[in-house]
């Protein structure tokens, strides 16, 4: 954690030097560190794997993260960062994109794998990604809200389709129950980060539940203002990291995700550097 945070600090600190050669050197060093770090993470998961489980869950236990699903979120974030850098012609290394995608595959996180493929389709052409990204976000939200209504109001179940998928909507239903029981103060200011599991017995997982329930209306609005500011500041370049996190966030999201904000900072500064 300290080494990773130090690298982030080096990247952000040296951005005050507008020399693109210097920034390319930093991205090169960072990419090598990422490859070594996640290679170790993968080898540890394989070594400590449990073959009594199905192939999908045999190598999920991670010694460096809570499980491989959390590792996949970090990998997905870096995948999108290097796709952004490639498209902006700042650091054009297609091999790091391939390696990161392979690492994502070996996390066996279906949400991260699907999101990385969808995100690449949306963002591979930097000139046309904005319309595709906005359309994809609207389609995603309409679909998500529709499925929530089907599950919560019409009592439909998706257990026959996939148990893990069904659990995400069970969490939404549990979140509604929390709102019904909690005081108006907790609705406004939230129940506190990480407390959803203590109240319901299940981790929040869902990005919407995490913000709306755990940080409340105030926290959610504050975060939305921040998101809108970064979108304006970067001319929607911040969607490179924000859209995948929202899509993948239906399956898993941790409020303690410094890599997201660090990468957002890099995108903001790269946008400024190009201007």
Q: What is the pTM of this model?
A: 0.88
Closest by Cα among 14, 1, 6, 68 to 266: 14
- In this structure, how many other beta carbons lie within 10 angstroms of the beta carbon of residue 164? 14
Higher pLDDT, 34 or 5: 34
Closest by Cα among 234, 226, 235, 228 to 267: 234
Average pLDDT over residues 205-210: 84
The mean pLDDT value of the chain amounts to 87
With contact defined as beta carbons under 8 Å apart, do 169 and 148 qualify?
yes
Half-sphere exposure of 200 (CA within 13 A, CB side): 27
Average pLDDT over residues 20-29: 88
**Does residue 175 carry a pLDDT above 50?**
yes
pLDDT confidence bin for 261, thresholds 50/70/90: confident
With contact defined as beta carbons under 8 Å apart, do 171 and 205 qualify?
yes
269's tokens? 């500064």
* Helix-then-strand count for the chain, H and E: 13, 0
- If you search the block for the tokens 């012609």, which residue do you land on? 89
pLDDT confidence bin for 256, thresholds 50/70/90: low
For 104-117, what is each residue's pLDDT tens digit?
999 999 899 999 99
**Does residue 148 carry a pLDDT above 50?**
yes
Average pLDDT over residues 252-265: 77
For 66-115, what is each residue's pLDDT tens digit?
888 889 999 999 999 999 999 999 999 999 999 999 999 999 998 999 99
Query: Highest-confidence range of 46-50, 204-208, 247-251, by mean pLDDT?
Result: 46-50
pLDDT of residue 90: 92
Higher pLDDT, 259 or 153: 153
**Does residue 254 carry a pLDDT above 80?**
no
Helices of type H across 153-248 = 163-181, 184-189, 196-200, 207-209, 216-233, 239-248
- With vertex at residue 46, the alpha carbon angle to CA 53 and CA 35, rounded to the nearest 5 degrees, is 135
């Amino acid at each position: 954690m300290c080494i990773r945070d130090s690298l982030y600090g080096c990247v952000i600190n040296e951005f005050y030097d507008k020399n693109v050669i210097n920034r390319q050197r930093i991205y090169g060093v960072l990419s090598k560190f990422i490859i070594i770090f996640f290679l170790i993470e993968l080898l540890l998961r394989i070594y400590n794997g449990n073959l009594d489980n199905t192939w999908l869950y045999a190598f999920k236990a991670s010694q460096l993260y809570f499980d491989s699903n959390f590792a996949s979120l970090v990998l997905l974030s870096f995948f999108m960062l290097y796709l952004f850098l490639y498209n902006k012609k700042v650091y054009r290394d297609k091999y790091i994109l391939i390696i990161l995608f392979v690492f994502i595959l070996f996390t066996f996180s279906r949400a991260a794998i699907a999101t990385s493929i969808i995100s690449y389709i949306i963002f591979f052409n930097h000139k046309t990604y904005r319309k595709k990204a906005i359309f994809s976000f609207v389609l995603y939200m309409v679909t998500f809200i529709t499925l929530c209504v089907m599950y919560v109001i019409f009592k439909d179940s998706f257990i026959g389709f996939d148990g893990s998928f069904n659990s995400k909507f069970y969490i939404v239903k549990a979140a509604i129950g929390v709102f019904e029981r909690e005081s108006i103060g907790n609705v406004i200011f939230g129940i506190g980060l990480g407390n959803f599991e203590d109240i319901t017995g299940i981790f929040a997982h869902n990005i919407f539940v995490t913000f709306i329930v755990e940080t409340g209306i105030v926290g959610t609005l504050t975060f939305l203002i921040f998101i809108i500011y970064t979108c304006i500041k970067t001319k929607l370049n911040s969607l490179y990291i924000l859209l995948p996190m929202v899509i993948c966030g239906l399956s898993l999201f941790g409020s303690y995700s410094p890599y997201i904000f660090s990468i957002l900072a890099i995108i903001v500064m790269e946008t400024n550097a190009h201007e």
